[in-house]
Amino acid sequence: MLCIHLGTPPVGVDWQWKDKDGQFTRSGKLTPLEFAANYLQTDIHDYVSLVHDPRESSPEGATFTVEYLGNVIDAPSIRYLNVDIQLMKDITLKMLQDGKPVWMGCDTGKQMHRDLGIWDADLFDYAAVYGTEFDLDKAARLEYHQTAMTHAMMFTGVDVVDGVPRRWRVENSWDDKVGNKGFFLMNDSWFAEYMFEIAVPKEYLPEELQKALELEPIVLPAWDPMGSLANLFIGE
């Protein structure tokens, strides 16, 4: 049915491009596997997904998967390793200091100013506007599906003061007309409340967590918010 409406996927494509200096290069016809072998320089098989899920039902150091999650036939199931939020920050900082951007997933629509490109946990004072307290912590917000991973982006920089990250630079994909030419600024307070996932090489994990990757994963139900980033779109 997909082929009828969209056409049969090509076996190969003619790969040609201009680099940032305007130099034109033609590589000829390549299959997807040939393209990957020639141009993908990152060993994606060495990367693992770290998540921060503070619910009591989700112990730190455990691995998780989500029922029915995944869109590639015969691919291994998605597997997360649950870690403390401070460790997630520390690893993100170390990778950036090593010159490596960090893929991440977060709840992008919360406490955000789209035009200015700012995320801050205290950006809007909802309590003053509505005359009531919004006091659910991160774990409770997950349990009530008030928060979830909704968007993937890339950490590309960090502002460090006295050895402590103060704010993070994020490359978004919403056009260069929002934020600072498409880049956003995330305060560290927002990281703690609304960051959920990063992808990192195994070498950045402590030895005990590298061993934890071999544990049999806990299977979360298909509708669990920890599976939302790869499973559905939540309006931002």
Please determine, for residue 231, whether its predicted confidence score (pLDDT) is greater than 80.
no
pLDDT value, residue 41: 86
Parse the chain into domains and list their residue ranges: 44-231
**Cα end-to-end distance, the chain, whole Å:** 31
pTM beyond 0.75, yes or no? yes
Measured CA to CA in angstroms, residue 117 lies from 37, 113, 185 at distances of 36, 6, 6
The lowest-confidence range among 35-39, 91-95, 159-163 is: 35-39
pLDDT tens digits, one per residue of 121-163: 999 999 999 999 989 999 999 999 999 999 999 999 999 999 9
CA-based radius of gyration for the chain: 20
* 16-41 mean pLDDT: 92
Encoded tokens for 29: 């016809």
Residue % of the chain over a pLDDT of 90: 80
Buried b (16+ CB within 10 A) or exposed e, 45-73: eeebbbbbbebeebeeebbbbbeebeeee
Which residue has better confidence, 134 or 83? 83
What DSSP designation does 169 have?
Answer: E
Q: Check whether 228 has a pLDDT greater than 50.
A: yes
3-class SS of residue 50: strand
CATH of domain 44-231: 3.90.70.10
DSSP H or E stretch at residue 5: helix 2-6
Residue 230's pLDDT band (cuts 50, 70, 90): low
186-208 pLDDT per residue, tens: 999 999 999 999 999 999 999 99
Residues 6 or more apart whose CB falls under 8 angstroms from that of 176 comprise 182
Q: What is the pLDDT of residue 234?
A: 36
pLDDT at 232: 43
Instruction: Identify which of 45, 44, 16 has the alpha carbon closest to the alpha carbon of residue 30.
Output: 16
